[in-house]
């Protein structure tokens, strides 16, 4: 029987032709409603989508015969990868299909903003010849601030050098050596970057930490010549705050391709002459769509033939040894926790496995650690396949060690690294017959609590009343504590609190905690 490939969104002709040439039945049904999708996916061996089709757990359940879900693009926000993994359905994407197009669109917006091209074009078409009103600025000699040095950020940096721009970047997770290789300077504080930059471009993922990153408080540090370009994700910029800053003359202008709500035809930015807007065109080139179409077709063909799939996002999770597999979610969460506690670039990440799991191949666990460690700091989905390359691009060295002997636990996974002179450490294990994950070590303190979506880690002096003070502040903010443990280090000092909470700890609450006499640091951490 010929396998059916359901295609629910426009795919490049070359991609469709490749699927047909491979002998598959291509069932192209565009514009399906959610109910129609549930019916259509039944009996399909593969589902190929772009950004509009929502592939949730219900769709995965309806697709009983699904072998693979292919997303013709980078992002996977519209695919429930966890649900697919539980059902043994492979998820693949086309991670490099649009990075060049996105970088070029960033440069196009830089030039359009600097030279007022859209407004000048509109006025001339309307019958007005006005050279003086739309006088622009040169890029040469100006300082370009780059937030995020992922693939797109690096490509933008390379192109900006050709214009003779001075390059500064903010990315706490990129090493100084990597920055030197790219020919740019690293800035340790985002406010300092905003103070220095004439142009600012964003190339970061949308996470709880980056949501609303460019807000009124940050924009208050900008010099009035600053022009901001965003082709990354909507919601990273507070659009109302940016509009207010431009109206007040605190910021010269902006060029925006992505918005908090999409599609949209309303934004306070649309009213301003010094703002250039485009409807999320970063990946909208013939070449990018062609690359995405042919890439995803190739991945689907490999998956349906049972061959190795280079861009599988969750393939390792389904291929891990039965003894090692239960540790995959723990390893990924430890990676996320490690990165959040590090708060900066770690040149070497040491991953050690102690106990029974040391007798097995733990490389897939290390990939899971990397997946977690990098997912919140790069501007593309991190998979078991691309994690090593992304780590290498950021100057991160991985060292893996195993020892069959474990002192306190049957099995223990430990991550260690150093940010400057500061050591970073997290450990975890699985507990009981149900293999429940536990975090058992944070920064050389023994703790014992389950990882949760929302966590808070507080370092404090060993003085009475600290637990009550922290608890009271959280209570006043309406943040409920789900679990808590007081960490003890080798000297027996109770100087660390680890908490699981039912909701995100707001940034204002974290700042209030840091201001308490005796609190050395506080970090709100999102593990999902």
pLDDT single digits (tens) 252-267: 999 999 999 988 999 9
Q: Are residues 134 and 87 in the same domain?
A: no
pTM (global) more than 0.95: no
Asked if residue 121 and residue 51 are part of one domain, the reply reads no
Instruction: Tell me: do 28 and 106 sit in the same domain.
Output: no
Tell me: do 114 and 126 sit in the same domain. yes
Mean pLDDT of 400-428: 90
The pLDDT, as a whole number, for residue 120 is: 95
Short-list 208, 265, 260, 253, CA closest to 227: 253
Residue 294 clears pLDDT 60, i.e. is over it: yes
Helices (H), 250-343: 286-304, 315-319, 328-342
CB 163 within 8 A of CB 140: yes
- Judge whether residue 315 has pLDDT over 90: no
- The pLDDT value recorded for residue 177 is 84
423-429 long-range CB contacts below 8 Å, 24 or more apart?
Answer: 424/338, 424/341, 424/342, 424/346, 426/334, 426/337, 426/338, 426/341, 427/334, 428/330, 428/331, 428/333, 428/334, 429/330
Query: Measured between alpha carbons, how far is residue 216 from residues 222, 252, 258, 260, 343 in Å?
Result: 10, 15, 19, 16, 23
pLDDT band at 386 (very low <50, low <70, confident <90, very high): confident
**Nearest alpha-carbon partner for 236 in 191, 263, 266, 201:** 201
- Of 2-6, 264-268, 372-376, the one with minimum mean pLDDT is 372-376
pLDDT at 364: 86
Q: In whole angstroms, give the CA distance from residue 124 to residue 137.
A: 20
Q: Tell me if 405 is assigned to some domain.
A: yes
Note the pLDDT of residue 106.
98
How far from the centroid of its chain's Cα atoms is residue 27's Cα?
33
To the query of whether residue 203 is one of the catalytic residues in this protein, the response is no
Cβ atoms within 10 Å of 136's Cβ, excluding its own: 13
User: In the chain, pLDDT over 90 holds for what percent of residues?
Assistant: 65
Give the mean pLDDT of the chain: 91
Are 193 and 259 within one domain?
A: yes
Helix (H, G, I), strand (E, B) or coil at 218: helix
Q: Which residue has the tokens 């930059």?
A: 197
Under the phi-then-psi rule, with left for phi > 0, alpha for psi from -120 to 50, and beta for the rest, what region is 280? left
Q: Which one of 36, 138, 217, 262 is the catalytic residue?
A: 262
* Given the residues 4, 280, 418, 512, the one annotated as active site: 280
Task: Indicate if 471 and 371 belong to the same structural domain.
Answer: yes
* Domain's final residue, options 253, 277, 301: 277
Statement to judge: residues 499 and 474 lie in one domain: yes
Of 277, 296, 329, which one is at a domain's C-terminal end?
277
In a domain, 282, yes or no: no
Is 440 inside a domain boundary?
yes
- From 203, 172, 184, select the one nearest 394 (Cα to Cα): 172
The answer to whether 440 touches 409, Cβ cutoff 8 Å, is: yes
Residue 333 covered by a domain: yes
CATH number at residue 308: 3.40.50.720
Does an H or E element contain 458, and which? strand 454-460
137 located within any domain: yes
pLDDT value for 37: 97
Structural domain includes residue 123: yes
Q: How far apart are CA 146 and CA 171, in angstroms?
A: 8
Whether 73 shows a pLDDT value over 60: the answer reads yes
106 and 255 part of one domain: yes
Which pLDDT score is estimated for 216? 96
Give the position of tokens 């700091």. 377
User: What number of other Cβ atoms are within 10 A of residue 240's Cβ?
Assistant: 14
CA distance 123 to 131: 10
Q: What is the DSSP pairing of strand 4-7 with strand 46-49?
A: parallel
Q: Are residues 235 and 270 in the same domain?
A: yes
Please tell me which residue in 233, 416, 445, 454 is annotated as part of the active site: 233
CATH of residue 459: 3.30.1330.90
- Residue 420: its pLDDT value, please? 84
User: What pLDDT does residue 101 have?
Assistant: 95
Angle of helix 99-115 versus helix 286-304 axis, rounded to 10: 160
Q: Does 389 have pLDDT greater than 70?
A: yes
Q: What per-residue confidence (pLDDT) applies to 269? A: 97
- Measured from the Cβ of residue 262, the count of other Cβ atoms closer than 10 Å reads 11
Is the confidence at residue 286, as pLDDT, over 60?
A: yes
Q: Average of pLDDT values for 279-297?
A: 93
List, for residues 486-518, the tens digit of each pLDDT value.
Answer: 876 766 566 888 999 999 999 899 999 999 988
Helix ranges restricted to H, 413-522 = 466-476, 507-514
Name residues whose C-beta falls within 8 Å of residue 271's C-beta, 6 or more positions apart in sequence.
243
Q: According to the model, what pLDDT value does residue 490 have?
A: 64
105 included as an active-site residue: no
pLDDT score recorded for residue 123:
94
- pLDDT value at residue 378: 84
How many domains is the chain built from? 3
445 is catalytic: no
Highest mean predicted confidence (pLDDT) among 187-201, 352-366, 432-446, 466-480? 187-201
Same domain, 43 and 79: yes
pLDDT average, residue stretch 196-204 = 97
List the end-to-end C-alpha distance of the chain, in Å, as a whole number: 40
Which of 218, 245, 277 is the C-terminal boundary of a domain? 277
pLDDT at residue 10, rounded to an integer = 93
pLDDT, tens digit, 9 for 90 and up, residues 84-126: 988 889 999 998 888 999 999 999 999 999 999 999 999 999 9
Closest CA to 496 of 454, 442, 420: 442
350 lies in which domain range? 321-526
Residue 325 covered by a domain: yes
CA separation (Å) from 436 to 160, 323, 429, 448? 49, 14, 8, 12
Q: Say if 312 falls within a structural domain.
A: yes
Residues 7-65: tens digit of each pLDDT: 999 999 999 999 999 999 999 999 999 999 999 999 999 999 998 899 999 999 999 99
User: Are residue 257 and residue 368 in the same domain, yes or no?
Assistant: no
Q: Give the mean pLDDT of 173-179.
A: 86
111-to-140, 199, 274, 352 alpha-carbon distances in Å: 11, 11, 13, 49
- What is the predicted pLDDT for the residue at 65? 93
What does the chain come to in residues?
528
pLDDT one-digit tens code per residue, 318-367: 556 777 888 988 999 999 999 999 988 888 999 999 998 888 888 889 98
Q: Which residue has the higher pLDDT, 143 or 313?
A: 143
Q: What local confidence, expressed as pLDDT, does residue 392 receive?
A: 86
Residues 508, 428: one domain? yes
Give the pLDDT of residue 491. 65
């Amino acid at each position: 029987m010929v396998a059916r490939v359901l295609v629910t969104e426009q795919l490049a002709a070359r991609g469709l032709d490749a699927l047909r040439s491979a002998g598959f039945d291509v069932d192209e049904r565009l514009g399906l409603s959610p109910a129609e999708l549930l019916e259509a996916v039944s009996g399909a061996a593969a589902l190929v989508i772009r950004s509009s089709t929502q592939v949730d757990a219900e769709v995965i359940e309806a697709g009983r015969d699904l072998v693979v879900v292919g997303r013709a693009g980078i992002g996977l926000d519209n695919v429930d990868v966890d649900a697919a993994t539980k059902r043994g359905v492979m998820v693949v994407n086309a991670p490099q299909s649009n990075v060049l197009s996105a970088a070029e669109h960033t440069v196009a917006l830089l030039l359009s903003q600097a030279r007022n091209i859209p407004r000048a074009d509109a006025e001339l078409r309307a019958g007005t010849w006005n050279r003086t009103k739309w006088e622009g600025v040169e890029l040469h000699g100006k300082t370009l601030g780059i937030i995020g040095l992922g693939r797109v950020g690096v490509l933008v940096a390379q192109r900006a050098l050709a214009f003779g721009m001075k390059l500064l970047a903010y990315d706490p997770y990129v090493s100084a050596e990597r920055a030197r290789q790219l020919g740019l300077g690293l800035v340790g504080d985002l406010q300092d970057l905003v103070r220095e930059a004439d142009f600012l471009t964003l190339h970061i993922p949308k996470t709880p930490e980056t949501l609303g990153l460019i807000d009124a408080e940050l924009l208050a540090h900008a010099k009035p010549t600053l022009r901001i370009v965003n082709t990354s994700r909507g919601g990273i910029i507070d659009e109302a705050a940016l509009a207010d800053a431009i109206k007040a003359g605190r910021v010269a202008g902006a060029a925006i391709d992505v918005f908090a709500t999409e599609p949209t035809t309303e934004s306070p930015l649309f009213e301003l002459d010094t703002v250039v807007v485009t409807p999320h065109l970063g990946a909208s080139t013939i070449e990018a769509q062609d690359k995405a179409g042919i890439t995803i077709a190739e991945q689907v063909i490999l998956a349906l033939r049972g061959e190795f799939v280079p861009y599988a996002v969750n393939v390792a999770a389904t291929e891990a040894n039965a003894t090692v597999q239960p540790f995959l979610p723990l390893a990924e969460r430890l990676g996320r926790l490690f990165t959040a506690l590090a708060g900066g670039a770690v040149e070497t990440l040491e991953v050690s496995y102690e106990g029974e799991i040391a007798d097995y191949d733990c490389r897939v666990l290390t990939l899971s650690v990397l997946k977690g460690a990098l997912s919140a700091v790069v501007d593309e989905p991190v998979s078991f396949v691309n994690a090593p390359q992304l780590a290498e691009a950021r100057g991160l060295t991985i060292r893996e060690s195993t020892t069959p002997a474990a002192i306190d636990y049957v099995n223990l996974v430990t991550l260690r690294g150093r940010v400057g002179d500061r050591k970073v450490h997290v450990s975890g294990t699985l507990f009981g017959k149900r293999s429940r994950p536990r975090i058992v070590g944070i920064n050389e303190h023994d703790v014992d609590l389950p990882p949760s979506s929302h966590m808070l880690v507080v370092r404090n002096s060993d003085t009475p009343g600290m637990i009550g003070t922290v608890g009271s502040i959280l209570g006043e903010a309406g943040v409920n504590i789900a679990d808590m443990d007081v960490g003890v280090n080798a000297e027996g000092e109770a100087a660390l609190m680890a908490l699981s909470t039912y909701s995100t700890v707001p940034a204002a609450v974290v700042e209030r905690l840091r201001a308490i006499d005796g609190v050395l640091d506080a970090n709100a951490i999102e593990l999902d």
